[in-house]
Amino acid sequence: MTLLAAFSIAVVAPVQAAAPAPDLAGVWEGRISAGGQSIRIVFRVDAAGNAVMDSPDQGARNIAVDRPTIEGGVVRFVVPVIGGRFEGARSGDGQILTGALSQGGATLPLVLTRTAATATLAARPQTPAPPFPYRIEPVAFDNPAAPGVRLAGTLTLPEGAGPFPAAILITGTGPQDRDETIEGHKSFAIWADALTRHGVAVLRYDDRGVAGSTGNFGAATQNDFASDVKAAFDWLSARADIDRSRIGLIGHSEGATFAPLAMQDGASAAWLVMLAGPAVSGGEIIQEQQRRIAVAAGMAPGEVERSNALQRRAVAAVADNAADPEAVRRAVEALLLAEGRPPADAARNAAVMSSDWYRGMIVHDPAESIRTIRVPLLAVYGGKDVQVPADQNGPAVARLKPDAEVVVLPGLNHLFQPAATGLMAEYGQIETTLDPSVIRTVVDWVVARSGL
């Protein structure tokens, strides 16, 4: 959500392949050429055949990868969260994979070389592991408002007949799987486990166009994602083992924007939890986010002000021309070129900022939808969050809904990890996925509102 959007590795649907291939253990590295840049791509495979992908030049690490496979001499790495895959032929000595990385309509040549024989994956000790004292049901449901969108997810149900109170988990910005996997952290799996152990059924689902869900993620807007939430609510409400009157919504980051929009559209939730949820316009969020990231990164004060002034002008260019994507593209590109940015960089950022989602995010003010909430609301923020700052958004929630409970947890970042700076670069380095304080705060509140 910053002005300088990272190149998005590029998306084809995951494919079914042959048996897992643990003999691929090691660190595989190569480079793709995109937008005039050489970008390093790394796949790490441990001895058990588990794998993650890194894109170090983009600051992305521990992206979940399906277990790698070999079929007919072709090695395949499938990356569900970005809807991408690598396919490559093995060299005779097994140390080089020659192929391509594909995503969407783009296919980029990529040669991977095994640079280390062993790979260590980051420890994520909070990720739930069986046996589980509850039932797990794979589910799928259609969004009637969006033909072709079928959402795949997981429903966890307490033991017993029900009907149970329930929660729907809503992911934040960017293509996310049902676990909201970020840097190997699976926070939604942890939320589902914690809540279901306390008697609350939990539905979590892949974003449209991600992993098991169909649809076009890249073409979706805030209202589209809100309609997916409404579809999830309606589907869950129709189940005999769920108490329709006790279904609540839990949205993280921009997911906390989609939830109130869905409620305005008829999702009659019994309560709402906003986890690091925006309560001011997207333009204000972007502006403050950019400044705080620059400060936390140690940028000199003068440079902070210069970069923030550029951010302000770019946001204004989007807001002033929001109804016309081509006008936004021209205005942003001209602005960046005038600032001396390389043409390829200016064009790439202009394309991102002229997208339907970005224009919608900049001009959307959640104030109206938050004001309409008539059910209990818990808003939780991390004190070190530089993406959705607590002191910017917490007071706004309190003004818009005076009876809301607003909790700021000191020392936690946007993902609710204990953090030093709050910068995104720390996410993958921190072993903790969710600080116990946020789990306790949310679970206790939801259990109380669910009558358990």
Most confident of 94-98, 207-211, 305-309, 413-417: 413-417
- Token readout for 89 is 């032929």
* pLDDT greater than 70 at residue 447: yes
> Which pLDDT tens digit goes with each residue over 243-255?
999 999 999 999 9
Which amino acid is residue 185, in one-letter code? H
> Which pLDDT tens digit goes with each residue over 154-197?
999 999 989 999 999 999 988 899 999 988 899 999 999 999 99
- Tallying the residues shown for the chain, one arrives at 452
What is the 3-state secondary structure of the chain?
Answer: CCCCCCCCCCCCCCCCCCCECHHHCEEEEEEEEECCEEEEEEEEECCCCCEEEEEHHHCEEEEEECCCEEECCEEEEEEHHHCEEEEEEECCCCCEEEEEEEECCEEEEEEEEEEECCCCCCCCCCCCCCCCCEEEEEEEEECCCCCCCEEEEEEEEECCCCCEEEEEEECCCCCCCCCCEECCEEHHHHHHHHHHHCCCEEEEECCCCCCCCCCCCCCCCHHHHHHHHHHHHHHHHCCCCEEEEEEEEEEECCHHHHHHHHHHCCCCCCCEEEECCCCCCHHHHHHHHHHHHHHHCCCCHHHHHHHHHHHHHHHHHHHHCCCCHHHHHHHHHHHHHHCCCCHHHHHHHHHHHCCHHHHHHHHCCCHHHHHCCCCCEEEEEECCCCCCCHHHHHHHHHHHCCCCEEEEECCECCCCCECCCCCHHHHHHCCCCCCHHHHHHHHHHHHHHCCC
Per-residue pLDDT at 11: 22
Per-residue pLDDT at 147: 96
Per-residue pLDDT at 1: 31
Per-residue pLDDT at 150: 98
Distance CA 256, CA 369 (A): 11
Distance CA 438, CA 196 (A): 16
Within 10 angstroms of residue 87's Cβ, the number of other Cβ atoms is 20
Residue 450 backbone dihedrals phi, psi, to 5 degrees: -90, 0
Strand-pair category, 405-409 with 377-382 = parallel
* pLDDT greater than 70 at residue 60: yes
Residues 6 or more apart in contact with residue 69 via CB below 8 angstroms: 17, 18, 19, 20, 21, 75, 76
Which amino acid is residue 133, in one-letter code? P
For residue 285, which of 24, 3, 58 has the smallest C-alpha distance? 3
Distance CA 352, CA 188 (A): 27
User: Is 286 exposed, middle or buried, given 0-12, 13-18 or 19+ CB atoms closer than 10 A?
Assistant: buried
Distance CA 171, CA 205 (A): 9
- Token readout for 134 is 């509850």
Max CA pair span of the chain = 68
- Mean pLDDT (the chain, rounded): 90
Q: How confident is the model at residue 59 (pLDDT cuts 50, 70, 90)?
A: confident
Tell me if 254 sits within 8 A of 260, measured CB to CB: no
Strand partners, 186: 181
Per-residue pLDDT at 155: 98
Per-residue pLDDT at 305: 93
What b/e string do you get for 340-356 counting C-beta neighbours within 10 Å, with b at 16 or more?
ebeeebbbbbbbbbbbe
Mean pLDDT within 305-329: 93
* pLDDT greater than 80 at residue 334: yes
For residue 419, which of 372, 378, 377, 386 has the smallest C-alpha distance? 386
Distance CA 23, CA 233 (A): 44
Residues 6 or more apart in contact with residue 34 via CB below 8 angstroms: 7, 10, 108
Residue appearing with tokens 């001499």: 73
- Token readout for 164 is 């149970």
Question: Per the confidence metrics, is the pTM higher than 0.75?
Answer: yes
* pLDDT greater than 70 at residue 15: no
* pLDDT greater than 70 at residue 298: yes
